[in-house]
Amino acid sequence: MKIAKNSVVTLDYEMFDADNQLIDKTEEPISYLHGGYDGIFPLVEEQLHDKAVGDVVDVTMAPDDAFGEQEEDLIRIEPLDVFPVEVEVGMMFEADDPETGEVMVYRITDVADGKAVVDGNHPLAGQRIRFKATVKDIRPATAEELEHGHVHGAHDHHHH
């Protein structure tokens, strides 16, 4: 079977930064629903189309195709007394976006003089990313998966 729209694709992947350092890899294979359901980077999905089990794709993505560009307006300086705990560089906080109400994740990137720099950009924003994936399994999606627009079963993500 080849990967086509509405197939469930299981793959192992490795992700590398611009210096070709490994930054992420699958411990367990992941599955996604193929065909424009936003289950995977669109550029990677394009490359995976029509591939078979055992095939490998190796895609280098510009920031726009991966985690986006750095957005200056997502970086703020906050006084330390707004935080419920003592903050350190690298800590993550969730906060509601005042404009959209969506939950944003902010990372502390600097602490000095009673203030913290918080950055709402994805840690990999602004970076070229290389995504290398090996196709492990392909199967037709179930009616329920198509209705929900994502994979169900052992290797999927769950609703919260």
Determine the pLDDT at residue 83: 87
Q: Do 124 and 67 touch, CB atoms closer than 8 A?
A: yes
Q: Do 156 and 145 touch, CB atoms closer than 8 A?
A: no
pLDDT digits (tens, 9 = 90+) for 41-85: 999 999 999 999 999 999 999 999 999 999 999 999 999 998 888
Q: Do 30 and 22 touch, CB atoms closer than 8 A?
A: no
Contacts of 5 (CB under 8 A, 6+ apart): 34, 35, 36
Distance CA 129, CA 79 (A): 34
Domains 2-67+127-148 and 72-119 are alike in CATH topology: no
Determine the pLDDT at residue 159: 42
Spans of all domains in the chain? 2-67+127-148, 72-119
- 72-119 CATH fold: Thrombin, subunit H (2.40.10)
pLDDT digits (tens, 9 = 90+) for 82-113: 888 899 999 998 888 777 888 888 999 999 99
Q: What is the mean pLDDT of residues 149-160?
A: 63
User: Could you tell me the pTM of the whole model?
Assistant: 0.79
Distance CA 58, CA 47 (A): 8
Determine the pLDDT at residue 107: 94
**Domain 2-67+127-148 in CATH 3.40.50.300:** no
